[in-house]
Amino acid sequence: MDELQDRSRDIGPFVAQPDDDMIVCRCEEVTKGEIRKAVHEGLYTIPEIRRFLRCGMGLCQGQTCAKLVKSIVARELKVSPAVLEPATSRSPMRPIEMHVFADEKEDDE
Amino acid sequence: MKSADVVVIGAGIIGSASAYYLAKAGYKVIVLEKADVIGDGGSSRNGGGVRQSGRDPRELPLAMYGIENLWPTLSEELGYDVEYCKKGNLRLGKTEKHLKTLQGLTDRAVAVGLDVRMIDGDEVRQINPYLSKEVIGASWCPTDGHANPLKATLAFYMAARRLGVRYYTGETVKCLKKEHGVLRYVETNDEIFAADHVVLAAGYASRAIAGTVDLDIPMVTRLVECLVTEMEPKMFEQMLGTAEADFYGHQTRHGSFVMGGSSGYELYKKDNGTPINSSTTVPCIARGICRYVPLLSDAKIVRAWAGWTDVMSDGVPVIDTVEEVPGLVLACGFSGHGFGIAPAVGAVVKNLVAGEKTVCDISGLKYDRFYAKDVVA
């Protein structure tokens, strides 16, 4: 069993840091402190952090903050960022209007 | 070897809700999850509906119990906001055929005591002015609603963990083992877990696991797909669905619209090993949305995602103890509508483990209900 599999392993207490109110995900305004706190409440993977806090779920889809979030989570878990799988990238590549995405057939209706 | 009073297999919302209520009742619980991520199946890939209308009468008691007793206080109970919103469900129709479908669903629900009724197009638009003039009627259930499935799933996990439940991710269950005729062990890829009770809540994976104690649960997989828009100004609070089931969803508290739907080929999508969107479904959902809520035609889709759900041969789950395998509790086969009833299922699973009377009637969800077509039960 590797170190991340046991979700109750001891990673030490959450200790407040002076820059905890720094915004890491600008699209969804998620702070460093919120991310660090979530790790201590059991969210050990990037997808869980993203689903719970919304960081990386805004307009830029994590293109700005993904790496930062990963390094914050890794430091909190005391592991290398390399062992954390990134969150899955999803289609579409950039935001697309509903009516454009809907227009699959030439003679719709 | 590790041991506990109860081993729960599956860390989706069903497994985590079960673990939470069991731990709250004093049981020592271990949860095993084959994925590296908590809630990675249907729990994170649904539209967040917390509804009673449109449900099979066999699972309706769970929906009604949860909405009456658990959902209203769930955020306080778990210590995390699950964004529960009880502002009703509109199931929309545009044709006479649609209305007939809706009337049938409504009559069945009224017969078992649900407050749901048919309304005409004008009343629909009084409730939700953004709906197309083409909508000629709907079923309206004012006590239905929605919640955030991502947050609710993780909230149950974090609350269970806080109560001392041990979670192990990346643990693939190989088999269940009996000792002296009683279920005793759960074997995974790298460990053996001993328990007095085992709760099997592993979605479609439940079928193979149950097979190791000679039990078959007739289910298949289905690909479910969702999309989410960018943040929009607040428009409406109801949960929407249609008679045609081309789309369903709601506006989240965040402002984005989370919508799911189907293209008709959900049971036949290719399994590439990873659940990715098919090319046909999201456009189909988008067409449904444009037709029913024209103002959303210009809303931007920022992301789409997909996942596999388990689908039972008769469309409702199995929630039961098993005579041939004492110690086993089944909670699987939720068929794409498990989210809204998950808290009530957790409460019922705790009852089954404790050998108590269940908080609501689940007599229609037995494991031995599957007879050949020429056999009358």
* Closest CB from A1, A91, A98 relative to B289: A98
Are residues A9 and A3 in contact, defined by beta-carbon separation less than 8 angstroms?
A: yes
The first and second tokens of residue B134, run together, are 């083409």
- Identify whether A9 is part of a domain: yes
Chain B residues in contact with A7 by the CB 8 A cut-off are 38, 161, 166-169
* A96, part of any domain: yes
In a domain, A32, yes or no: yes
**Token reading at B127:** 């409730």
Window 40-69 of B: residues touching A by CB (8 A cutoff) are: 40, 44
Q: Is A20 on the interface with B (CB under 8 A)?
A: no
Counting every residue written for chain A, the total comes to 109
Tell whether B300 is within 8 A of chain A (Cβ): yes
Q: Domain for residue A107, yes or no?
A: no
pTM of the model: 0.95
DSSP state of B203: T
Report the CATH number at residue A61. Answer: 1.10.10.1100
Cβ within 8 Å, pair B168-A5: yes
pLDDT at A107: 58
Helix, coil or strand: residue B187: strand
Per-residue tens of pLDDT for chain B, all 377 residues: 999 999 999 999 999 999 999 999 999 999 999 999 999 888 988 889 999 998 999 999 999 999 999 999 999 999 999 999 999 999 999 999 999 999 999 999 999 899 999 999 999 999 999 999 999 999 999 999 999 999 999 999 999 999 999 999 999 999 999 999 999 999 999 999 999 999 999 999 999 999 999 999 999 999 989 999 999 999 999 999 999 888 999 999 999 999 999 888 888 888 777 778 888 899 999 999 999 999 999 999 999 999 888 999 999 999 999 999 999 999 999 999 999 999 999 999 999 999 999 999 999 999 999 988 888 76
In this prediction, the answer to ipTM > 0.95 reads no
> Per the domain annotation, does A108 fall within a domain?
no
Contacting residues for B298 by C-beta, under 8 A, at least 6 apart: A97, A98, A99
Cβ(B226)–Cβ(B275) below 8 Å: no
- Put simply, whether A29 touches B (Cβ < 8 Å) is no
Residues of A in contact with B303 (CB under 8 A): 57, 61, 90-92
Q: Is residue A12 part of a domain?
A: yes
A109: in domain: no
Determine whether the interchain pair A95/B302 forms a contact, defined as Cβ–Cβ distance below 8 Å: yes
- Would you say residue A106 has pLDDT above 70? no
Torsion of CA B127, B341, B336, B49, to 10 degrees: 20
- Percent of chain B residues topping a pLDDT of 90: 87
Question: Which chain B residues touch A54 with a CB distance below 8 Å?
Answer: 254
> How many separate domains does chain A show?
1
Gap from B47 CA to chain A (nearest CA, Å): 14
Residue A44 lies in a domain: yes
- Interface A-B, measured as beta-carbon pairs within 8 A, has a size of 117
Helices B149-162, A46-53: inter-axial angle, 10-degree rounding: 110
At residue B41, the pLDDT reads 86
Chain A nearest-CA distance from B169, in A, is 5
Range of the domain at A44: 2-101
